[in-house]
Structure 1
Amino acid sequence: MDGRAVAPAAGTVLNALATGTGSAFAIDLETTATVELTSDGRVDAEIAGQPDADTTLVERCATLTIAEHAAPAGLNESTVGAQVRTESEVPMASGLKSSSAAANATVLATLDALEIADAVDRIDACRLGVRAARDAGVTVTGAFDDASASMLGGVTVTDNATDELLAREEVDWHALVYTPPEQSFSADADVSACERIAPMADLVAELALDGRYGEAMTVNGFAFCSALEFSTGPMIDALPDAAGVSLSGTGPSYVAVGDQSTLETVRDRWNERDGTTRLLRTRTDGTELA
């Protein structure tokens, strides 16, 4: 019995580190997970092209999914194991929600292998991945905002303290992503510095819940660049042309949204910086079986 699923990455509208409220939107970079069930009760994982990468999150996702859904699938939880393999277009530790995409893809692929993927609500599947991320220590907030955007597609607003979906809207944007050469791990972010800008985060949440996503992103970007000590230079490069621009997650990537021709102009500026620039589309279809 095996399963396969594909999950998109995401960009940030509101970083949840300040208040627990977050917002993100799915973008067209993908992570694929393949799961083969075994009968030895062991869960092992590998990440394609990265033999030394930490596979704790992926293994925890498969383990939790089996623990919760093996019995409904008519299997003995104690004897069901899994071999998991992920491959990804999403650079790790870049602020583009690689962990959320890997978690969602793994959970759904495991459900597919158990042959009950269609019977499990997508939000419930998303919450399993969030639990695994907390257990694995790869996130401070649980990243339900990032995970829900990746699982459902579109833009979502969430309460990460309660894992509640506050709003979701399908959006059709072009998105420009600039990723500098360095990495930045979410678990290492200065949470206390982020909490001090809570009033700005509350403003961003109001804008996002009002559907003013571009303005929300830009306010978020300037606030969190300051709190996390990232340069605002790439944001200035994108303004006033882009509809919105922000530091994505805890960095180091920046994401701008707008129409294609405008973002091509911004891309020319970002291409003068060290790193990688990608012009993408937003995704409305979320995590899917493959």
Structure 2
Amino acid sequence: MDGCAEAPAAGTVLNALATGRGSAFAIDLTVTAEVALDPDRDTVAGSVAEDADADTALVERCVELACETYGDADADYGGVVETTSEIPMASGLKSSSAAANATVLATLSALSVADDVPLKDAALLGVRAARETGVTVTGAFDDASASMLGGLTVTNNERDALLARDDVDWDVLVWTPPERAYSADADADRCTRIAPVAELVEELALAGRYETAMTVNGFAFCAALDQPTGPAVDALPLADGVGLSGTGPSHVAVGTHDALTEVQELWNERPGTTLLTTTRTTGGRVLTT
């Protein structure tokens, strides 16, 4: 009973910490999960290929929930899950949502039910696991939906409702500094103080003005989360949109390849790494092993 699946990273248009409504878009960087269910095991054991000491509670809970929801009610499911990631952890690029999505899909594949479960329902299992294991403040349905469905999504995280989805075609530049920031550690109370700005960003996103929305969101949340605005200022004359992704520390710019190549030269002067990639209109998918 083996399964393998992948799901992409995502960048932020609207951070949901202020109002419970968020927006994100899929980026062509992936997490791959391999799941092996074993009826002779009593528990699920997880591992992260890039970090032997990483917390694996989220992916383990994803396997458990998928088995409880879609497996044989009379069966006990243990096993192992291993994730391999192209996404820097704790960088604001939704690595947790991507890992949860990939793990849920891999488990559904191992149970031979992946084709029967709507992708939104699969994403919601990962959201539930994230809430139960404390890796998210908002539930992150915005991040999870963008990763699972591909394209750009706008969501109400308090109701787990998908408000809009659209395909976007951008080149994407990511700058990730050396430090890390965990979503669960963000000052949510401070973020609620910028709710009026977040409401404006939501209006812009729902009107299809995604690049402007992510730029306004980025400056507002940089202020609320004490993140630097310098990278956005560097990018603004060239990129169509730029902003802090999640709670940081990564910044993401979108636009044309030539314009982002110029931004990359500026961002390369900062400590950390840059990566030039694209958006992704396809989301999570089962892989053949």
* Shared fold, TM over 0.5: yes
Question: What residue in structure 2 maps to residue 46 of structure 1?
Answer: 47
Q: What's the CA shift for 1:162?
A: 0.7
Amino acid at match of 1:177: V
Partner Cα distance (1:48, 1:233) in 2: 33
1:66 aligns with 2:60: no
Q: TM (normalized to structure 2)? A: 0.98
Question: What residue in structure 2 maps to residue 107 of structure 1?
Answer: 104
Amino acid at match of 1:125: A
Question: What residue in structure 2 maps to residue 201 of structure 1?
Answer: 198
Structure 2 segments unaligned to the other structure (5+ residues)? none
The two structures, once aligned, show a CA RMSD in angstroms of 0.7
Partner Cα distance (1:258, 1:171) in 2: 11
Q: What's the CA shift for 1:49?
A: 2.7
Partner Cα distance (1:180, 1:256) in 2: 15
Amino acid at match of 2:221: F
Partner Cα distance (2:140, 2:74) in 1: 31
Question: What residue in structure 2 maps to residue 21 of structure 1?
Answer: 21
Aligned-partner SS, 1:54: coil
Aligned-partner SS, 2:280: coil
Partner Cα distance (1:82, 1:280) in 2: 34
Q: TM (normalized to structure 1)? A: 0.98
- Cα deviation code 1:93-138 (max 9, x no counterpart): 0000000000000000000000000000100000000000001100
Q: What's the CA shift for 1:174?
A: 0.4
Indicate conservation of the 8 Å contact 2:62/2:129, yes or no: yes
Aligned length: 286
Structure 1 window deviating more from structure 2 (136-145 vs 35-44): it is 35-44
Partner Cα distance (1:266, 1:274) in 2: 15
Structure 1 segments unaligned to the other structure (5+ residues)? none
Question: What residue in structure 1 maps to residue 58 of structure 2?
Answer: 57
Amino acid at match of 1:165: L
Partner Cα distance (1:2, 1:12) in 2: 33
- Cα deviation code 1:216-264 (max 9, x no counterpart): 0000000000000011000000012111000000000000000100000
Indicate conservation of the 8 Å contact 2:33/2:83, yes or no: yes
1:229 aligns with 2:226: yes
Amino acid at match of 2:190: A
**Closer, same or farther in 2 for the Cα pair 1:41/1:70, shift >3 Å?**
farther
1:284 aligns with 2:281: yes
Partner Cα distance (1:178, 1:76) in 2: 48
Aligned-partner SS, 2:138: coil
Question: What residue in structure 2 maps to residue 12 of structure 1?
Answer: 12
Aligned pair partner of 1:273 in 255, 270, 274: 270
1:31 aligns with 2:31: yes
Question: What residue in structure 1 maps to residue 74 of structure 2?
Answer: 76
Q: What's the CA shift for 1:80?
A: 1.5
- Cα deviation code 1:67-112 (max 9, x no counterpart): 10112xxx634x2212101010111100000000000000000000
Partner Cα distance (1:16, 1:115) in 2: 34
Partner Cα distance (1:198, 1:162) in 2: 18
Question: What residue in structure 2 maps to residue 143 of structure 1?
Answer: 140
Q: Which runs of 4+ in 1 moved over 3 A?
A: none
1:127 aligns with 2:124: yes
Amino acid at match of 1:238: A
**Percent of residue pairs identical:** 65
Partner Cα distance (1:287, 1:116) in 2: 15
Aligned-partner SS, 2:13: strand
Question: What residue in structure 2 maps to residue 170 of structure 1?
Answer: 167
